[in-house]
Structure formats: C-alpha cells, structure tokens
Structure 1
Amino acid sequence: MAPLKVEVIVGSVREGRIGRAVADWFVERATANPSWNVSVIDLRELSLPQDFSDSPATEVFRQRIGRADAVVAVTSEYNHGYPAALKTAFDSVKHEWRAKPIGFVSYGGISGGVRAVEQLRQVVAELHMVSVRQSVTIHRVRKQFGHEPYGVDSIAIDASEKMIRELHWWGSGLRMQRASDPYPG
C-alpha cells in the first residue's frame, strides 16, 4: 500500500507564535511511521484570501488537501476559540475535505487549547470530515517549547502515538473507500 499522505496545518499566523515549533515536534513523531508521507502547510506562508476569492494560494491549498489522505490541525487557543486563519483555511475549500480524517494538536496555557478543539470538531463535522477521538493537548506550552531541547510531557507524547494510530486506521480505510465508492455527500 502506498504511504498515507498526511498534511499538517499550522493554524496560527500571529507574530511570536509557537505553533510552528509544536507542528515540527509532531511532524518528527509522525515521520517515524514509515507508512506516512507528511508535509506541512503553514498558513502564515500561504496567505489565503480573507474574502475566499480564488487565488494561486487557494489553488495550491485546494490541490494539497485534495491529495491528502488525512489532516492534522495544529491550533492554539485564542480567547477560548481557534485562530481566524485556521477557520479561513477550512472555509476556503469545500469538497476536498470530505471523507477524510482529521486529528488535532492543540496548545495553550492551562487548558492546552481544548476549547478550540471542541469548537473545531463542530466545524469539521459540517465539512464531512471524520474527527478522530484522540487529540494531543499541550498545556503550558511555553514551558515545554520555550527552549530547546523541548521538554514535552509524557502525556502529550502518549497522546500523539495514539492519535497517529487512529489517523492511520481511518486514513487507510477511507482512502480505500473513496477509491472504490466515492463519498456521496
């Protein structure tokens, strides 16, 4: 079987963000799985139009999501919610999301971004995606990612391993199903 194509989306575009470091940590863990082909979409570098108009960036994003077998959203929590750039990304394409699994890696202060993920689960359900049960939550992110080497706690490490297994199961199964019987939605 061909490697699973997994797109990791860095959802925060803020100045001084720590999201790229969190995404790189997750990618390092995910690429340890030889049956995964992982790439990163950094929304800061992509600059999707806020008015959802067609653009070269939108077309690149549409193609990458269309080719993906699974998606991981790396998200911060701002004011008990998810970043606007991440919502713009979800709203910028439509059919390419359908019948694909998504996992979440969230980070923040004490809550670790869990409120953002709970809201995003509703968004991705409307896009006909399958949100895997396991997510990775990184509490007090600046303590864990504020300096190298990163001191990621064992809870986040264990959660990442579980989420990778769940995404692999769903991603492999849905890829076969999409190939044999296209999603009706």
Structure 2
Amino acid sequence: MSKPKIALIIGSTRKSRFADIPAQWMLAQAKARTDIEVELVDLRDFDLPLFDEVASNLWAPSSDPRAVAWQKKIAEFDGYIFVVAEYNRSITGALKNALDQSYVDWNRKPFTAIAYGSVGGTRALEHLRLIGVELMMVPTRNAVHLGMADFFKVHPGLGGSGNMADVEANLLPAAQASLDELVWWANATKAARG
C-alpha cells in the first residue's frame, strides 16, 4: 500500500492572518516523516462561493464549478491537518464554508490540527471535531495547541518574533503524537476504503 497522502489545510484567508507561521512549522514536521506525503492546501487559492447548492454533494451534484474543483482537490487526500484559528470561540467562516462545500470527499478520512487563539484554539478545534463527525471523518484525540503565551511570543503583529523555533520545545511532543495518530488512522481508513 502506498503512503497516505495528507493535506495541510490553512483555514484562515485574512490578509493579516497569522496562520502561515504555524502552517509552515507543521508542514516541516510532517515532511520530516517518511510514512506520509503532505501537501499544503491554502483556502486563499480557491475562490469558493458561499455554500449555495440545493444540498451537499451527498444528495446532489454541486453545480458551481468552483465547488466541484474544491471537491476534486479534497478527494485526492487520505487525511488532513487543519490549521485552525479561533475566531469568537469557533473556526473561521472560510473554513466552515470550505467544509460545507463537500461531503462525500471528507468521508472516512482522519484529521488532526494545529490550533491557536484563546486557550490554544481548543474551543475552535472542538467545533471542528463536531463538524468532522457529521462529515463522517475521524477526528484524532491529539492535536497541537499554540497557547496564548506562546502565541504572543511568536505573532509578529503582536510584538512576537515570527519564529516558531522560539516555542518549538513546547509543541514538538504534541506534533509527534498528532502525526503518529493521524498516520495510524490514515493507513487504517485507507485500507478499509480500498
């Protein structure tokens, strides 16, 4: 069986987003492994409309070619790592819309995350896990949480260094556990889907 193909999805589209810094760090952690292939998928690169279909693609084919292109991209992967920004105790509207644009392409695939924001993005990630269950995904127990002290230490717009190496020691054990778990589930679900 070939190595699982994993998408690292940046879930924020704001011009001033912080997401690129943890995304690049997590991408480096994933690429250092030999048991997965990983690709960065940036929501900015997809001109997704607000969800306006008759139903999800579980029930009816999507009519908007932008949604269909997104579905085809998501279908390429065996699992996902989400970069989760916490906005008002939940995920971004852009990420929710991207999740809603597809259904069957997420099914029976695992995901983990690197989350940041108030209390390490925990509340946003909990919302993502609930959405993932509805999409028939496998949310992992482990994830990487960039807590407020580390967030301020790194966020360049808030006086931080812009360098994840400054907080890496706090995050590496969680990253290792998250990726180990993601790989296990990706192999298991890939075999089962086959």
TM-score of the aligned structures, taking structure 2 as reference length: 0.86
Pick which of 19-28 and 51-60 moved more.
51-60
Indicate the residue corresponding to 2:146 in structure 1: 138
Matches within 5 A, 1:30-41: 30-41=30-41
Instruction: Say if 2:91 is the partner of 1:76.
Output: no
Q: Percent identity?
A: 31
Indicate the residue corresponding to 2:127 in structure 1: 119
Instruction: Say if 2:181 is the partner of 1:173.
Output: no
SS in 1 for 2:120: coil
Aligned length: 178
Q: Distance in 1 between matches of 2:70 and 2:175?
A: 25
Flag as ranges the 4+ runs of structure 1 deviating above 4 A: none
Q: Which amino acid aligns with 1:42?
A: D
SS in 2 for 1:39: strand
The verdict on how the C-alpha distance between 1:47 and 1:143 changes in structure 2, with shifts beyond 3 A counting, is farther
- The runs of 5 or more residues in structure 1 that have no matched partner are 180-185
Q: Distance in 1 between matches of 2:51 and 2:136?
A: 22
* 1:145/1:152 contact within 8 Å kept: no
The verdict on how the C-alpha distance between 1:126 and 1:12 changes in structure 2, with shifts beyond 3 A counting, is same
Query: RMSD in angstroms over aligned alpha carbons?
Result: 1.5
Q: Which amino acid aligns with 2:22?
A: V
SS in 2 for 1:170: helix
Superposed CA deviations along residues 33-84 of structure 1, whole A, max 9, x for unmatched, are: 1221111111122121113454443223211211211111111101111100
Pick which of 147-156 and 32-41 moved more.
147-156
SS in 2 for 1:163: helix
TM-score of the aligned structures, taking structure 1 as reference length: 0.90
- The runs of 5 or more residues in structure 2 that have no matched partner are 54-62
